[in-house]
A and B are shown apart, each in its own frame.
Chain A
């Protein structure tokens, strides 16, 4: 099961060109949705206005080399390692979901475009990556949904209360879960495979088609915000925040003796 390409088996009922068109349409929906979201919420205008303000109020100029270094650090720390999270559990759950989703999507695209039929057998690593990606997405996503989600952990709401903000995580979980079940049922020759595949397509279409209304576009905005934060630290503007305390031995808990009692 884990080494057989589910899309090659599917090509017996759905022509590869239809699958490829569907994937291309999903990519276009993400691009169009992100652009619409940016224009509608004026995110880019807000970003550049903050950028100009930070440059104007900064105490030192950040050179091109330092800027490139900051960008590289943002990609590695905030992008690849989700370094902005202060809570370790949230960070681990986010990493599981993010890398699972990326593996799931990339393996899908490669199998659909490069190995769409049984006549073009895919390397065993690709289906394995597809199943593993879906599984990681489910582990990270359900952990977040049931235990870490702020609505549950801080607000004390029911784990099963659904709100508008859940559109992204729920459609992502529905897509990964139904994908896993469909792959299993299809490899087992079960007649429920087709209805579950229908659910998978529905969930995936909602996931990629709801970008303007969901949190999907955060994968583009968050790195930009993290980069801006690093630049503000470097040029001294710091969003008006005070500089880090430089003498904790005098002012902080590293003092030798308390004096304010």
Chain B
């Protein structure tokens, strides 16, 4: 079910180009609107569909198994921290779902650039960046350093 773009809605902002994990959402050189350059490589992750601020991207079901007007549409609302899905079945049944996309207010998470840069001794540390404080624990168990056999 590859994605496609409603050209009249797209304003060519490039959010989908930035977020596509397959690097298959690009800008058309003729119309400067986004398009899926390789539909067969799209794994329907819906990243671009959710990221599009104009709701201009949709996923198309293959004609051999999803005909008759079904649709899966999604609306992401940053300020509310919600993502809503509307599933329309082939028999006309509609179902709406709302889910949280985060538990903290939008814009409250620090970007990596806002953290202090790690020092050179971090290379010998077993913890990942911002551990353990980012995990909200005091301490993480660590393995004893290996001792080099000599003699």
Chains A and B form a bound pair: yes
Q: Are A252 and B85 in contact (CB under 8 A)?
A: no
Partner of A252, one of B8, B14, B100: B100
Give Cα distance in the complex from A175 to B82, angstroms: 46
Q: Are B27 and A253 in contact (CB under 8 A)?
A: no
Q: Is B89 engaged at the interface, CB distance under 8 Å to the other chain?
A: no
Q: Which one of B69-77, B113-121, B122-130, B143-151 is at the A interface?
A: B69-77
Q: Are B84 and A242 in contact (CB under 8 A)?
A: yes
Q: Is A258 engaged at the interface, CB distance under 8 Å to the other chain?
A: yes
Q: Is A18 engaged at the interface, CB distance under 8 Å to the other chain?
A: no
A251 touching B100 in the complex, CB below 8 Å, given contacts A240-B88, A245-B80: yes
| B72 nearest in chain A by CB position | A240
Q: Is A163 engaged at the interface, CB distance under 8 Å to the other chain?
A: yes
Q: How many residues of A contact B (CB 8 A)?
A: 34
Q: Are B84 and A243 in contact (CB under 8 A)?
A: yes
Q: Is A153 engaged at the interface, CB distance under 8 Å to the other chain?
A: yes
Q: Are A253 and B13 in contact (CB under 8 A)?
A: no
A215-257 residues at the B interface, CB under 8 angstroms? 215, 221, 225, 229, 239-245, 247-248, 251-255
Q: Is B98 engaged at the interface, CB distance under 8 Å to the other chain?
A: yes
Cβ–Cβ < 8 Å partners of A190 in chain B: none
Size bin of chain B's contact surface: 35 or more
Q: Which one of B38-46, B60-68, B101-109 is at the A interface?
A: B101-109
Give Cα distance in the complex from A90 to B26, angstroms: 19
Give Cα distance in the complex from A242 to B77, angstroms: 11
Q: Are B103 and A255 in contact (CB under 8 A)?
A: yes
| B55 nearest in chain A by CB position | A241
A164-191 residues at the B interface, CB under 8 angstroms? 164-165
Q: Are A221 and B8 in contact (CB under 8 A)?
A: yes
A243 touching B96 in the complex, CB below 8 Å, given contacts A251-B82, A252-B77: yes
Chain A to chain B: the 10 pairs with minimum beta-carbon distance, closest first: A253-B81, A154-B14, A252-B81, A242-B86, A248-B80, A258-B103, A245-B82, A163-B29, A165-B32, A242-B84
A contacts, CB < 8 Å to B? 46, 84-87, 90, 150-151, 153-155, 163-165, 215, 221, 225, 229, 239-245, 247-248, 251-255, 258, 260
B contacts, CB < 8 Å to A? 6, 8-9, 11-15, 17-18, 26-32, 53-55, 71, 73-75, 77, 80-82, 84-86, 88, 96-106
